[in-house]
Amino acid sequence: MSAFSRFTPLIQSLPATIPFVGPEAIERQRGRRVTARIGANESGFGPANSVLLAMQQAAGEAWKYTDPENYELKAALAGHLGISPANIAIGEGIDGLLGQIVRLVIEPGMPVVTSFGAYPTFNYHVAGHGGRLVTVPYADDQEDLDGLLAAVKRENAPLVYFANPDNPMGSWWPADRIVEFANALPETTLLVLDEAYSETAPPESIPTIESLLDKPNVIRTRTFSKAYGLAGARVGYALATPGTAAAFDKIRNHFGMNRVGVAAAIAALADQRYLKDVIVKIAASRDRIAQIARDNGLKSLPSATNFVAIDCGRDAIYARAIVDRLMSDHGVFIRMPGVAPLNRCIRISTGPEAEMGLLEAALPTVLRTLAAAS
């Protein structure tokens, strides 16, 4: 394949890659429909009816660009969180914001600390900006705060990524340990505290907004993709000091937000009763997945997210076989962690009872098929 000859040396050095194989691609590759979409940590419970209505109303205005200052969404978030709009940056999901954060801080060759096996999109952005990943192993299936701090200090790293609760294991730390971690970091190290799953986590695991809001070296990222059920709308936000938040304006795509998505986010924020209902459903679905695991002789890990990691008790090949068979034989789409030792697990997103029923029916058949083949 011939490609343009003057891509930057960095781009030329990166391997050709399709980093994320989505359920649509899996359907195309296998020629089989997904019947239970419980692999990408979306919310099968969907958005509120009030949100759907707001999206319908906004659809007719899709010919207009979105307000590049995102004034209304910032005002709504500021009101909801009791902070100033100046503390908020808006982006195309957390994924978009992560790219901007890496770009704000990292020049080629700089060290960036994260956990080995943590959320891969962050790593992808680090590679794309030439950063050098320094990874710290999970300890007992949980991100290792002391290990992350030690790596930051050893490397004099300008950036560290930490998700609480984390993906892919669903683990979490108490809020006071996170504040302690943030306070122990050098002022010259920026902490990305990814709180994609803050709504489904125990309240005592999420630091209060005030506890970190005056720290220029902390950015908390949140999203409407998970509990709010709006992954396809691509709306996320970052919380930081006004000075740090303003830096996003230097580089962001000012017309990058989609008008229907922003209207959806504003409506979702206004419907906290729906959010509460969904959080209860997610918790019940976590219990249901744990029960299905138990019924099949597998051990689920505790989770504060909208998914559950299940320890399949063997190696990555076995976990991969379960993931593949569930999809190929039953159309049940799930995923698994990418690296050892986490990849002895499979990861199943919470969802409505119809999907849970399909999982419940398919898993024992898959395990029996694999046992017969070994």
Of 133 and 370, CB closest to ligand PLP: 133
Closer residue to ligand PLP (CB): 81 or 370? 81
236 is a contact residue toward ligand PLP (CB under 6 A): yes
Cα–Cα distance, 179 to 291 (Å, whole number)? 34
Which is closer to ligand PLP, CB of 112 or CB of 196?
A: 196
Is 225 a binding residue for ligand PLP by CB under 6 A? The answer is yes
| Whether the Cβ atoms of residue 128 and residue 99 lie closer than 8 Å to each other | yes
Helix (H) or strand (E) run with residue 349 in it: strand 345-349
Sign, Cα dihedral of 198, 222, 266, 74: positive
**Computed over its alpha carbons, how large is the radius of gyration of the chain?**
21
Among positions 141, 143, 194, 199, the unique one binding ligand PLP when judged by CB under 6 A? 194
- Applying CB under 6 A, among 45, 116, 119, 172 the residue interacting with ligand PLP is 119
Note whether 93 binds ligand PLP by CB under 6 A. Answer: yes
DSSP string for residues in 109-165: T-EEEEETTS-HHHHHHHHHTT-EEEEE--BTTB--HHHHHHHHHHHT-SEEEEESS
Query: What distance in Å separates the CA atoms of residue 365 and residue 356, rounded to the nearest whole number?
Result: 15
282 in Cβ contact with 45 (< 8 Å): yes
Q: Does the footprint of ligand PLP cover residue 164 (CB under 6 A)?
A: no
Q: Which of 36, 41, 76, 116 is close enough to bind ligand PLP by CB under 6 A? A: 41
Per CB under 6 A, 196 contacts ligand PLP: yes
User: Does position 350 bind ligand PLP by CB under 6 A?
Assistant: no
Applying CB under 6 A, the span of 127-135, 223-231, 310-318, 336-344 interacting with ligand PLP comes to 223-231
Could you say whether residue 231 binds ligand PLP (CB under 6 A)? yes
Q: Which two tokens stand for residue 86?
A: 């100046």
Those residues whose C-beta lies under 8 Å from the C-beta of residue 277, and which sit 6 or more positions away, are none
Q: Which residue is nearest to ligand PLP (CB)?
A: 93
| Closer residue to ligand PLP in complex, CB, 172/274 | 172
Binding mask 270-309 for ligand PLP (x = CB under 6 A): ----------------------------------------
Pairing verdict, β 159-163 and 111-115: parallel
> Which residue from 94, 104, 212, 348 is in contact with ligand PLP, where contact means CB under 6 A?
94
CB of 97 to ligand PLP, least distance (A): 8
Q: With binding defined as CB under 6 A, does residue 167 bind ligand PLP?
A: yes
Query: How many CA within 13 A on the CB side of residue 89?
Result: 30
Q: How far is CA 270 from each of CA 76, 232, 339, rounded to the nearest angstrom?
A: 8, 19, 39
Nearer to ligand PLP, 95 or 330 (CB): 95
Q: How far is the CB of 93 from ligand PLP (least distance, A)?
A: 3
4/14 Cα distance (integer angstroms): 14
Query: How many angstroms separate the CA atoms of 263 and 170, rounded?
Result: 30
Pick from 73, 85, 95, 145 the residue near ligand PLP by CB under 6 A: 95
- Choose one: 1-9, 92-100, 185-193, 253-261; the region binding ligand PLP (CB under 6 A): 92-100
3-state helix, strand, coil in the chain (%, to 5): 50, 15, 40
Binding site for ligand PLP (CB under 6 A): 41, 93-95, 119, 163, 167, 194, 196, 223, 225, 231, 236
